[in-house]
């Protein structure tokens, strides 16, 4: 199984924010134009069977460090739009539907934050064309990493 893992525990060095330049649509289709460790995120997404996210739960969403990485998978999508269930979304560039598993951690996640996180993942999955997803909550980062099957060696 080909896993694509994003965590806020160990993040790539020198990662830049998505600039919204749409170069990944027009200049280098399917590949981000920013030359850093996240340049190939769209390609990695296109070839994975399982997409794993481990993030601190911040107000029912991803941590800022994770969100920077997640924004960089925009090249996974096509510049064109399509109507999906009566809503406009980017068309899919690739024919891939990985299982998406999110492992949120923090010792004091409220029920309201859990509900927000579930809705966020549902919407993210729809936007990215994923039909199979699950969200999980843990008290600590170590618990989340263990549940995701990630040890320290997997994060290096």
- Give the pLDDT confidence score for residue 152 in this predicted structure: 60
Which letter does DSSP use for residue 58 in this model? B
Angstrom distance (rounded) from CA 133 to CA 144? 16
Q: What is the pLDDT of residue 156?
A: 43
- What is the predicted pLDDT for the residue at 151? 75
**Rounded to whole angstroms, how far apart are CA atoms 14 and 35?**
10
Q: Which among 19, 38, 41, 20 is positioned nearest to 30, based on CA atoms?
A: 41
Question: Which pLDDT belongs to residue 1?
Answer: 79
Q: Are 64 and 71 in contact (CB under 8 A)?
A: no
Does an H or E element contain 121, and which? Answer: helix 111-128
CATH no., domain 3-155 = 3.40.50
What is the per-residue pLDDT across 95-126, written as a single tens digit (0 to 9) for each? 999 999 999 999 999 999 999 999 999 999 99
Rounded Cα distance, 29 and 137, in Å: 35
| Sequential pLDDT tens for the chain (156 residues) | 799 999 999 877 889 999 999 999 999 999 999 999 999 999 999 999 999 999 999 999 999 999 999 999 999 999 999 998 999 999 999 999 999 999 999 999 999 999 999 999 999 999 999 999 999 999 999 999 999 999 764 554
How far apart are alpha carbons 27 and 36 in whole angstroms?
A: 17
Nearest to 130 by CA among 140, 138, 122, 119: 122
pTM for this structure? 0.92
pLDDT value of residue 20: 92
């Amino acid at each position: 199984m080909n896993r694509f893992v994003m965590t806020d525990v160990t993040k790539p060095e020198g990662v830049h924010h998505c600039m919204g330049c749409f170069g990944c649509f027009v200049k280098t289709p399917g590949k981000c134009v920013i030359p850093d460790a996240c340049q190939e995120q769209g390609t990695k997404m296109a070839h994975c069977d399982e997409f794993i996210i481990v993030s601190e739960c911040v107000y029912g969403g991803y941590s800022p460090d994770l969100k920077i990485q997640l924004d960089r998978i925009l090249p996974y999508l096509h510049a064109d739009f399509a109507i999906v269930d009566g809503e406009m979304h980017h068309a899919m560039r690739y024919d891939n539907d990985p299982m998406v598993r999110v492992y949120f951690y923090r010792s004091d996640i409220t029920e309201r934050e859990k509900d927000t996180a579930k809705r966020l993942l549902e919407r993210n999955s729809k936007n990215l064309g994923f039909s199979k997803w699950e969200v999980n909550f843990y008290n600590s980062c170590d618990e989340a990493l263990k549940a995701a099957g990630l040890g320290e060696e997997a994060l290096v």
